Structure 1
């Protein structure tokens, strides 16, 4: 399955979750619901995965934690905030570069219409 096919599935799941739960809950609630839906869909994912990275010649054991990585091809960063700051997209792009993952989704559930809360971030896709 390609990155774009995975993203389409995840966006559909987020639409379902937002329709059922609505905006305004904690990020962890949406993460739990998304992981439940991913498992139900039979997709392999990692949740709160610690990511190591190379700096010069040294492997750093824990650089950051990704909210969800689907099929080792799609990184999902979840938010439940009034406004996603521009720096959040830059952070996601850095995560993508460090992991060599090509596509990320920044998903903010704290919006009236979830389609307005989903943004793609690409790394040489």
Structure 2
């Protein structure tokens, strides 16, 4: 099987859904695929260090980053949620139009959404 890039669009802060997306992404990384996860809409809360109840999901985020995956967070969604940049966990990058389009439109990209 050829290696492809995976772009995961995560919009939910529901623990089960977020953890599934992060575990799936971890498995893709372990199989040698490049992974970019975009946290947007309510998923921005998963990376907010001041929000309670996301310890397991944050451990999964750290694991994705440690394995070479990229986690982007939508600044417009952060703003809408009232989330200041200093609340974003270490290693999560602020998304730009360029970073999102580069990952999502890569020639070998597969896109999945949770």
TM over 0.5: no
Q: So what's the TM-score if we normalise by structure 2?
A: 0.32
Structure with the larger strand share = 1
Structure with the larger helix share = 2
Structure with larger Rg: 1
Q: So what's the TM-score if we normalise by structure 1?
A: 0.30
